[in-house]
Structure 1
Amino acid sequence: MTTPATARVPQEERTRAMRQRLMDATVELLVERGFGGTTTTLVSERAGVSRGAQLHHFPTKNDLVVAAVSHLTAIRGSDLEAAVARLPQGEGRTEAVVQMLGEHFASPVFTAALELWVAARTDPSLHEAVGPLEQHVGRETHRLTVELLGADESVPGVRELVQATLDLVRGLGLANTLGDDARRRRRILNQWARTLDAALDPREKP
């Protein structure tokens, strides 16, 4: 005999799986069509979820997008973790770190986040959801960059160099949304890595 508890578990799993498909579809459409072109109808079609089921969980586009913000934040975090695991040690480490950050900020997940930033500028409810999460992502990315570069932020100017690195890769990521900018990005970041090595190497200090 099936008890209510055992019957409820599969339903909960199905609901989680459906929400996951909706979140994935929302992120994909933000990349492909932008915020303006992402509609609840397209999301439900892409996710293979009935319109009624989607509206039950997310009655409006903003409900759906706000939920996708947390999902997108988690994807960005896991993508960075995977990229960090592939970084080499020793010589060439700084260049590898900087190039990795450049690739991350030129990735589709950054494009989706960028669409949300722009939309949140004039949408109070979306801004309320996006703002705190972006601040968290910014702090964590800064912390991670300091760790990967072995930077000592107690040294004057080092914190600013780390922040300049992140501002640079974000700017290059923005440029990449208008066309493949990979070759120019690699050249710029290669030069910036040399600048960082010279600035962060304690042997260069008097």
Structure 2
Amino acid sequence: MSTTAEHDRPASRPDRSPKQDRSRATRQRLLEAAVACLAEHGWAGSTVAVVAERAGVSRGAAQHHFPTREDLFTAAVEYVAEERSTALRDLFPEGAADRRAVVAALVDLFTGPLFRAALHLWVAASNEEQLRARVTELEARVGRETHRIAVDLLGADESRPGVRESVQGLLDMARGLGLANLLTDDTARRARVVTQWAALLDDALG
């Protein structure tokens, strides 16, 4: 016979966490595959079907998570940008006294597959009106976050004249170095530029 406590106990619900875990894992594989495809094949060669095959999922599963191609690729670049931002902060959990190390880490953000993928997305957005608005919004958010990270890691006081522009100049320079690195290995020249910019920031930031 059931006790009163047993009658009052809410009916147990099936544990859906394994299914949710699989769904999150599938989504992450799709995002990572999308960035890799975009970096390697550009916008024209990166279809949902190609990404799904690379991620090892069906096209239907991909479209369940991301109904449109634009949804998939903007989410992918945003996801990896967030991951890179977290990794950058983790390099210097208590800030960094060595500004050259910080400058070098920020420059590295613009020389990997994320930047290459984002560049392909920007080029596609320049020709596709529907994609342009989403990529413009994404770039603004990623840019603001990167700027905040740079300010924190450099110990910059933006209330002082010229400091904000100096930090933004660093990020603009880093983007330019990323572009230069797309066609040839620019490691040696980039190292010299990083050293010089770190010295300039020491003067500008105090």
Asked if Structure 1 and Structure 2 have the same fold, meaning a TM-score greater than 0.5 normalized by the shorter chain, the answer is yes
Give CA-to-partner distance per residue, 1:36-57, whole Å, 9 cap, x none: 2212221111111023322344
Which position in structure 1 is the counterpart of 2:7?
none
Change (3 A) 1:174 1:87: farther
Which position in structure 2 is the counterpart of 1:113?
118
Q: Name the stretch that deviates more: 54-63 or 166-175.
A: 54-63
Change (3 A) 1:177 1:86: farther
Q: Does 1:160 align with 2:165?
A: yes
Identity rate, percent: 52
**Aligned equivalent of 1:150, options 152, 155, 180:** 155
Q: Name the stretch that deviates more: 23-32 or 140-149.
A: 140-149
Show structure 2 runs of 5+ residues with no match. Answer: 1-10
User: For 1:28-177, what aligned pairs fall within 5 Å after superposition?
Assistant: 28-85=36-93, 88-89=96-97, 93-177=98-182
**Aligned equivalent of 2:30, options 22, 36, 42:** 22
2:146 match: secondary structure: helix
User: C-alpha root-mean-square deviation of aligned residues, in Å?
Assistant: 2.3
Show structure 1 runs of 5+ residues with no match. Answer: 202-206
One-letter amino acid matched to 1:159: R
Structure number having the greater helix percentage: 1
2:153 match: secondary structure: helix
The higher radius of gyration belongs to 2
Change (3 A) 1:86 1:188: farther
Change (3 A) 1:142 1:88: closer
Change (3 A) 1:54 1:191: same
State how many pairs are aligned. Answer: 196
Change (3 A) 1:67 1:162: closer
**TM-score, with structure 1 as normaliser:** 0.83
Distance (whole Å) between structure 2 residues aligned to residue 158 and residue 52 of structure 1: 50
Checking the alignment, whether the CA contact within 8 Å between 1:26 and 1:38 is kept in structure 2 is yes
Deviation at 1:5, TM superposition (A): 4.2
